């Protein structure tokens, strides 16, 4: 089964053709931009009527505009929706609550292909007689998300499979979608004119192109299965190479519940699940030199009977260079030693912080580091459910972010890895887990 997707059983009213031509997708972006502009005008007029002086950011980041963005990107799917998912998840606790709820729809909502469109895609990949390979193929997807939708099927020899089928036009539209999202960000004024995001856009295009190559994902899934053979707490699906193409991924179907279903489980069960996922991230970073960098919660399923975690969706797997891993070791060593200056220097060396930000906001950055050091070095398990310190980090972080001259784009490798680490922390917070992270980290710093 694949985790780029969500459980979608019981909903049969969401079949909708995916816009796959460049012109059709450009038209969708045009309508999105027009709708957001109209929403900004209305919000600006409302604020003026109340005697306020409206700011561009306030007029742009309204619930109405967030709803427009979520709906349109859900329809587009592909790279456009994937970028929206990344923004909504990476923002984490930093988005206002009302906007966070709306943008979370991008992680949980997608229309699936109409049956006729699905038939054309599978006929192109497997040939017109593809149905003869199966004793049963459920045309209703059990999951649908940004790049593909997943169907359950049974082969003639009785194997139960999950089949991920890529939406038409996804691969061909990646470059245009990324460029269009970048234009929206520029036109909106959310990005400073002088901020160079070209290297990041190039990396995003490459990453998304890799995620759209299902043969590559199948190879990564097999590789992770071998690397994790000694970790019985997790299970990785087995690839069916005979049915896998660059646009169709076939694997054995593995039962499992959404990881979020553990929210109401006993504390020990939640702690164990979070500990397993954190242990996996540490091995990816410091042992494998290979990390699955998409932290979407749907990429994890939980088996109630065995307590194992099913790992899904390996399209975002990428190498971790030894210099990057060493930068993380240096940062963690400094943090666990409680050395604020060393943490600051290590963060700059790793690319987390820009020199301009340190020079212009030294006091606020030191305050942020002090909060992190205090939380890192508490005795006993770290309580991920206690989010009081996040508000303090948000206040100082947003104050620094207001100074656009201090904006800095970290190296792409660091961004993707940190995205996985931050997403893991968000999942542990969702589970209100308590884990002795310090004890888990120390062996990797020797």
Which residues does the annotation mark as catalytic?
294
SS3 of residue 319 by DSSP:
strand
Please tell me the distance from the alpha carbon of residue 110 to that of residue 71, in angstroms, as a whole number: 9
What is the spatial distance between Cα 31 and Cα 161, in angstroms, rounded to a whole number?
39
356/406 Cα distance (integer angstroms): 5
CA distance 190 to 198: 16
According to DSSP, the residues that pair with 368 across neighbouring strands are none
Count of residues making up the chain: 446
Alpha-carbon distance of 264 to 284, in angstroms, equals 29
Cα(276)–Cα(433) distance, integer angstroms? 11
Q: Rounded to an integer, what distance in angstroms lies between the CA atom of residue 225 and that of residue 252?
A: 13
Determine the Cα angle at 220 with ends 219 and 226, to 5°: 95
Give residue 65's Cα distance to chain centre.
21
**SS3 assignment, position 265:** coil
DSSP string, 186-242: HHHT-S-TT---HHHHHHHHHHHHHHT-HHHHHHHHHHHHHHTTT-TTEE-PPB-GG
CA atoms within 13 A on the CB side of 362: 3
Integer distance in angstroms from the first to the last C-alpha of the chain? 37
What angle separates helix 412-430 from helix 267-283, to the nearest 10 degrees?
170
Residue 155: count of CB within 10 angstroms of its CB: 17
């Amino acid at each position: 089964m694949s985790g780029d997707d969500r459980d979608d059983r019981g909903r049969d009213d969401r079949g909708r053709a995916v816009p796959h031509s460049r012109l059709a997708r450009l038209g969708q972006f045009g309508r999105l931009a027009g709708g957001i502009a109209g929403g900004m005008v209305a919000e600006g007029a409302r604020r003026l009527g109340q005697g306020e002086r409206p700011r561009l950011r306030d007029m742009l980041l309204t619930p109405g505009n967030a709803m427009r963005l979520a709906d349109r990107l859900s329809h587009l799917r592909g790279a456009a929706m994937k970028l929206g998912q990344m923004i909504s998840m990476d923002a984490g606790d930093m988005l206002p609550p009302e906007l966070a709820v709306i943008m979370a729809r991008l992680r949980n909502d997608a229309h699936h292909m109409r049956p006729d469109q699905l038939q054309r895609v599978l006929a192109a990949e497997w040939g017109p007689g593809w149905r003869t390979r199966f004793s049963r193929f459920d045309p209703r997807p059990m999951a649908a998300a940004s790049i593909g939708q997943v169907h359950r099927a049974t082969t003639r020899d009785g194997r139960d499979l999950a089949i991920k089928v890529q939406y038409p036009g996804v691969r061909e539209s990646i470059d245009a979608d990324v460029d269009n999202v970048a234009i929206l960000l520029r036109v909106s004024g959310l990005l400073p004119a002088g901020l160079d995001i070209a290297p990041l856009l190039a990396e995003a295009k490459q990453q998304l192109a890799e995620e759209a190559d299902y043969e590559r994902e199948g190879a990564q899934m097999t590789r992770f299965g071998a690397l994790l053979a000694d970790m019985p707490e997790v299970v990785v699906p087995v690839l069916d190479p005979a049915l896998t193409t660059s646009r169709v991924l076939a694997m054995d179907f593995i039962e499992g519940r959404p990881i979020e279903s553990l929210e109401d489980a006993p504390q020990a069960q939640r702690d164990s699940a979070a500990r397993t996922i954190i242990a996996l991230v540490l091995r990816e970073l410091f042992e494998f030199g290979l990390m699955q960098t998409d932290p979407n919660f749907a990429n994890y399923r939980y088996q109630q009977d065995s307590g194992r975690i099913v790992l899904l969706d390996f399209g975002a797997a990428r190498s971790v260079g030894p210099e990057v891993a060493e930068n993380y070791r240096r940062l963690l060593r400094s943090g666990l030693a409680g050395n604020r200056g060393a943490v600051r220097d290590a963060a700059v060396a790793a690319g987390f912080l820009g020199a301009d930000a340190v020079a212009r906001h030294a006091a606020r950055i030191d305050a942020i580091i002090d909060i992190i050091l205090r939380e890192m070095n508490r005795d006993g398990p770290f309580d991920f459910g206690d989010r009081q310190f996040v508000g303090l980090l948000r206040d100082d972080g947003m104050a620094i972010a207001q100074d656009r001259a201090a904006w800095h784009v970290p190296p792409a490798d660091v961004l993707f890895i940190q995205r996985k680490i931050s997403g893991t922390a968000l999942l542990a917070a969702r589970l209100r887990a308590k884990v002795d992270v310090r004890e888990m980290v120390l062996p990797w710093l020797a």
